[in-house]
Structure 1
Amino acid sequence: MHRIFLVLFLALISQAAVAANLPDFPFIVSVGKAEREVKPDIATVNLGIVSFESSSELAIEKVGLATDGVLKVLQSYGISASAVEATDMEKSTKRRRDSEYNNLAILGYEVSRALIIELNDLSKYSELVSDIVAIDNVTGVRTAFDVTDRIEIERELVGIASKDARNKAEQMAEGLGTKIRSVYAISQNSDFGSFFATFGARSDQILADLASPTGRARVVMFVPKTITISQGINVVFRMK
């Protein structure tokens, strides 16, 4: 019996909480969207360098050689070391295991690090990345293409998306025989609570995988002709 009262009590609290989040006037929730195809002019290349050897000294040496190799390739294309961000080396011990997964003898040592390369010139992107992928122990290469004026483009798209949201709201209100009065709430992060939850704004970057996690190179990816930049806006309109 106590359980039944508890369930009823929690249900009433839940309904009250939802109702407390709702405005006490008629409203319409509208989602506006806008997107634009633009030509990328910058890119961020992410890659890993991994070596597994019987001795940690040899594994560290090979990771160092591969790192130097990447820097030399970049230098040959006129890209300074300041465009590269490198993580510290990480080392892990690999052991043989028995049928009960108990650690046995050491098989070797794996040493790895990650590099992030910022490219401001894509004119020789394909050749550059091909040379990097060809370096031993380089793996997991992928690229995110972008544009330098993304902020300005997104600002313009937000304005277009806002007008789109208003147009949709006006059409819905007209279909109900009424009109919208004013803006009650606006967001790009779908933070109106569970009742107002909608699809938030997206701002995508195109990712191009140039190597598999095993280090086996795939067909070289070229710079895409365009990438899509999109923005969305969620608006709650007060109705008359």
Structure 2
Amino acid sequence: MKRLVLLACLALPVSLFAEGGLPNQPYIYVEGKSEIERMADMVTLRFEMVARNPDQTKANQEVQTKAGQILSLLNDRKIAQGDVVAEDLKSEPQYEDEESSSSRRGKIIGYIVTRSFEAKVRDVTTFPKLVDELLALGGVEFSAIDGGLSNEKQMEDDAFQKALSDARTRAEKTLATAGMKIDSVFAVSPVPFPEIRQKILGGHEAYGAATAERIVAPDPMRYRLAPVSVTQSVHLIYLISPAK
């Protein structure tokens, strides 16, 4: 996984004072960023069971029968019931000419009945075999295989703390060159402070971020899960004064 992040640390001149709720004493506005990357330790499988038949009832019966087989298979593979979602059912008519406009597609020649499934596999070593077993049932169409983290919430908290530390470090380095120091924190926000951005940039962004798509692509022998990255940014206003 490739990731490109362009950062900016904005230090306001000490002569710039508050308007519209901003500090009425010298301050510095800084953005802190962090990124934590880990290998996926769980996988979410997203797939559909699809049946096509001239008779809608028969198409539905086929889907429901195989849906039962899917649920039994997942249970046999120790996938917890709380890690399986199978709540959707969709039925659509098939027409003689699917490419034409709705008024010229001709008569109905059959029906497509679909049930959607989502299953979390918490042992990544087992999911390739499970995928093969699901496909062997027939009628299963996969839409995604996504790597994930079982402790993502903890990683988000850790990333937030690292972003706070990064903001403090950037502010202190900037102020040191101007003979200033941090007195206290005036405000913390996960999004930019619009009043300051408008003053400095006229509403334009000071930084950009570009993230390459995370792609889970199989080769003939194995599946290779992309690393999972948790990013965090935080915007702080520090009140400042001359260093003694």
**Same fold by TM-score, threshold 0.5 exceeded?**
yes
Seq. identity, % = 23
Shift of 1:163: 1.0
Count residues in correspondence: 212
2:113 and 2:23 mapped to 1: Cα distance? 57
2:80 and 2:161 mapped to 1: Cα distance? 38
Corresponding residue SS for 2:71: helix
2:236 equivalent to 1:232: no
**Superposition RMSD in Å:** 3.5
2:56 and 2:154 mapped to 1: Cα distance? 49
Alignment-derived partner of residue 186 in structure 2 = 184
2:174 equivalent to 1:166: no
Instruction: Return the letter of the residue paired with 1:157.
Output: A
Instruction: Return the letter of the residue paired with 1:132.
Output: L
Instruction: Return the letter of the residue paired with 1:113.
Output: R
2:217 and 2:142 mapped to 1: Cα distance? 8
2:133 and 2:193 mapped to 1: Cα distance? 49
Task: Select 1:138's aligned residue among 130, 137, 140.
Answer: 140
2:159 equivalent to 1:151: no
Alignment-derived partner of residue 45 in structure 2 = 45
1:138 and 1:33 mapped to 2: Cα distance? 42
Corresponding residue SS for 1:102: coil
Alignment-derived partner of residue 6 in structure 1 = none
Give structure 2 stretches of 5+ with no counterpart.
1-17, 198-204
Shift of 1:63: 1.7
1:194 and 1:93 mapped to 2: Cα distance? 54
Q: Are the structure 2 counterparts of residues 100 and 207 from structure 1 closer, same or farther at C-alpha, using a change threshold of 3 Å?
A: closer
1:135 and 1:195 mapped to 2: Cα distance? 59
Give structure 1 stretches of 5+ with no counterpart.
1-17, 211-217
Greater mean alpha carbon deviation, residues 152-161 or residues 108-117: 152-161
Instruction: Return the letter of the residue paired with 1:59.
Output: A
2:222 and 2:39 mapped to 1: Cα distance? 16
Greater mean alpha carbon deviation, residues 223-232 or residues 118-127: 223-232
Task: Select 1:208's aligned residue among 198, 210, 216.
Answer: 216
Aligned 8 A contact 2:42 2:124 in 1 = yes
Q: Are the structure 2 counterparts of residues 209 and 25 from structure 1 closer, same or farther at C-alpha, using a change threshold of 3 Å?
A: farther
Corresponding residue SS for 2:64: helix
Corresponding residue SS for 1:130: helix
1:54 and 1:108 mapped to 2: Cα distance? 4
Instruction: Return the letter of the residue paired with 2:90.
Output: E
Q: Are the structure 2 counterparts of residues 207 and 225 from structure 1 closer, same or farther at C-alpha, using a change threshold of 3 Å?
A: closer
Instruction: Return the letter of the residue paired with 2:128.
Output: S
Summarize deviations over 1:119-150 as a string: whole Å, max 9, x none: 22223121112222343222233233233333
Aligned 8 A contact 2:28 2:240 in 1 = yes
